[in-house]
């Protein structure tokens, strides 16, 4: 006691107890001593001031004893100042911890590592699960997860206790109403109440999980659509290294599996004569965001060539630029274009040949026309030199004489244009009508014509009327004789 208070033994002996507790109300120390005498042993705490003025806290254990026939009080004192300070600090720390615990937006649970029972929970986890705090503290880990997932949940719980993992992702969690949501549970082992426990942080990731599943379904659908169109699909980084691809693209390379090309550069199976173009296209795509209608050749593993058309777009995935490319095998297109070009070339050659044949045909026509002109001249010369002189010597009278004159004139006009003109213009004229046309042109009257052909004048006039109609002269009222003579 002397060491604690700073007084010497001599300074304390014979002094009133109030010396050490001047701050207490007068008579309070005496009341405590009386209480000990009357009730027996007593334990209490009191504040004591030392000789140097320092105030500290003592834990007193007092009881009565008899010394030399005198009933006295003996007390044992223990300085508990530091212990009480630590307890106060601990209470303050626990209060702060509780404030932080309850203010967390994530659900927090402390569970016994051995039994899985819940010891502490915050307001967020109560709201998340639909339980009150009192209800939740009566439950354990197995009560807040679907039965079908308990084995996996317990495995994750034990691994977190052993510090093998910190996060158990996408754990199914069951609410009070039986509905299920998914949470990432981040946990760490702690010492709580003298026991090893697990502090778990529950974050609802149902929305994120559904979005991820929807994205996965969408990707699966898009891949299925791409595969249906026999289109190759490849994802590469900005260096041209393969990150992902479908079976059709793997087929373009001549390999069997995606693992055969993953991590390798697309330049490895690009034809040597197209490598520079493909390398520049990868850089341009990374820079500009897209490449359209790029045609290059791939060389398969077996040495075969596959011409492909590439359309690519840059997307940022996980914070890194990636190039998504759709590739189509254009072998058939190349064959079709080649066949079309061959056809066009053949057509051009045929056109040239036809033009040459047309020129030759024109020469033949020209030659025929010249030959026809020569024949015409020969006929005209023969008629003029051989036939007409004979006819001039014939002297016939009457109708025969007129026929002879007509014969003379017709032979003279044999090579003239009248015969061709009248034939071309009036293909529907009868032979009799053509005969009458010839006589009308020579100026014969209807009566003279009637006498020559042995018909009536009315019959000749009827023939003349039909001729005018067939030659289109009924509308214009033209003179038939003048018209026929104009055909020469």
Q: How confident is the model at residue 103 (pLDDT cuts 50, 70, 90)?
A: confident
For 205-234, write each residue's pLDDT tens digit.
Answer: 988 888 888 878 877 776 676 666 678 889
Select from 475, 484, 466, 480 the least CA-distant residue to 428: 466
Q: Between the CA of residue 66 and those of 30, 37, 40, 113, what are the distances in Å?
A: 19, 11, 13, 54
| CATH code (residue 108) | 3.30.450.20
Same domain, 8 and 53: yes
Same domain, 309 and 286: yes
Task: Check: CB of residue 291 under 8 Å from CB of residue 312.
Answer: yes
Assess whether pLDDT exceeds 70 at residue 401. Answer: no
Q: Which of 210, 234, 249 finishes a domain? A: 210
Tell me the C-alpha distance between 443 and 405, whole Å.
12
- Long-range Cβ contact pairs of 306-309 (< 8 A, separation 24 or more): 306/252, 306/331, 307/331, 307/334, 308/232, 308/252
Domain membership of residue 181 (yes or no) is yes
Domain membership of residue 203 (yes or no) is yes
Assess whether pLDDT exceeds 80 at residue 196. Answer: yes
Cβ burial of 266 (10 Å; 0-12, 13-18, 19+) is buried
Assess whether pLDDT exceeds 60 at residue 320. Answer: yes
What is the gyration radius of the CA atoms in the chain, in angstroms? 64
Same domain, 108 and 197: yes
Give pLDDT, residue 473: 82
Tell me the C-alpha distance between 256 and 261, whole Å.
9
**Domain span at residue 320?**
218-332
Domain membership of residue 386 (yes or no) is no
| CATH code (residue 451) | 1.10.10.10
Q: Which of 210, 239, 266 finishes a domain? A: 210
For 357-373, write each residue's pLDDT tens digit.
Answer: 888 888 888 888 888 87
For 150-164, write each residue's pLDDT tens digit.
Answer: 999 999 999 999 999
Same domain, 81 and 155: no
- CA torsion 36-41-47-48 (nearest 10°) is 80
How many CB atoms sit inside 10 A of residue 381's CB? 11
Same domain, 65 and 154: no
Select from 479, 485, 379, 381 the least CA-distant residue to 441: 485
Same domain, 231 and 291: yes
Tell me the C-alpha distance between 409 and 388, whole Å.
9
Q: Which of 155, 179, 210 finishes a domain? A: 210
- Angle (CA) 86-87-92 rounded to 5° is 95
Give pLDDT, residue 95: 58
């Amino acid at each position: 006691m002397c060491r604690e208070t700073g007084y010497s033994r001599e300074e304390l002996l014979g002094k009133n107890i109030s010396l050490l507790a001047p701050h207490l109300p007068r008579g309070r120390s005496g009341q405590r001593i009386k209480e000990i005498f009357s009730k027996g042993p007593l334990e209490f705490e009191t504040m004591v001031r030392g000789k140097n003025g320092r105030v500290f806290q003592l834990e007193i254990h007092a009881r009565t004893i008899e010394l030399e026939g005198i009933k006295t009080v003996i007390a044992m004192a223990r300085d508990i100042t530091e212990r009480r300070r630590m307890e106060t600090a601990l209470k303050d720390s626990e209060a702060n911890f509780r404030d932080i615990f309850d203010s967390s937006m994530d659900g927090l649970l402390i569970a016994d590592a051995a039994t899985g029972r819940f010891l502490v929970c915050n307001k967020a986890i109560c709201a998340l699960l639909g339980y009150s705090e009192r209800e939740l503290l009566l439950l354990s880990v197995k009560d807040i997860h679907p039965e079908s997932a308990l084995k996996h949940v317990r495995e994750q719980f034990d691994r977190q206790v052993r510090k093998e993992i910190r996060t158990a992702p996408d754990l199914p969690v069951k609410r009070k109403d039986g509905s299920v949501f998914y949470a990432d549970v981040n946990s760490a082992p702690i010492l709580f109440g003298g026991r090893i426990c697990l502090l778990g942080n529950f974050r609802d990731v149902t929305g994120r999980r559904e979005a991820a599943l929807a994205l996965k379904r969408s990707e699966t659908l898009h891949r299925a659509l791409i595969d249906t169109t026999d289109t190759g699909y490849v994802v590469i980084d900005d260096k041209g290294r393969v990150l992902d691809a479908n079976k059709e693209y793997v087929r373009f390379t001549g390999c069997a599996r995606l693992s055969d090309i993953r991590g390798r550069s697309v330049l490895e199976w690009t034809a040597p004569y197209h490598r520079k173009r493909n390398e520049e296209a990868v850089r341009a795509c990374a820079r500009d965001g897209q490449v359209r209608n790029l045609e290059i050749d791939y060389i398969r593993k077996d040495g075969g060539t596959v011409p492909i058309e590439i359309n690519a777009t840059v997307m940022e995935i996980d914070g890194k630029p990636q190039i998504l490319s759709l590739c189509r095998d254009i072998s058939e297109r190349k064959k079709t274009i080649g066949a079309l070009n061959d056809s066009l070339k053949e057509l051009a050659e045929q056109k040239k040949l036809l033009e040459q044949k047309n020129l030759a045909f024109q020469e033949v026509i020209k030659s025929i026309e010249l030959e026809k002109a020569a024949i015409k001249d020969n006929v005209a010369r023969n008629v003029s030199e051989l036939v007409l002189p004979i006819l001039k010597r014939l002297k016939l009278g009457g109708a025969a004489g007129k026929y002879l004159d007509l014969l003379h004139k017709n032979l003279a006009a044999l090579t003239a244009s009248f015969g061709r003109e009248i034939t071309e213009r009036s293909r529907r004229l009868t032979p009799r009508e053509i005969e009458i046309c010839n006589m009308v042109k020579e100026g014969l009257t209807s009566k003279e014509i009637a006498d020559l052909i042995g018909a009536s004048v009315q019959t000749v006039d009827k023939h003349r009327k039909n001729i005018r109609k067939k030659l289109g002269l009924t509308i214009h009222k033209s003179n038939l004789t003048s018209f026929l003579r104009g055909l020469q």
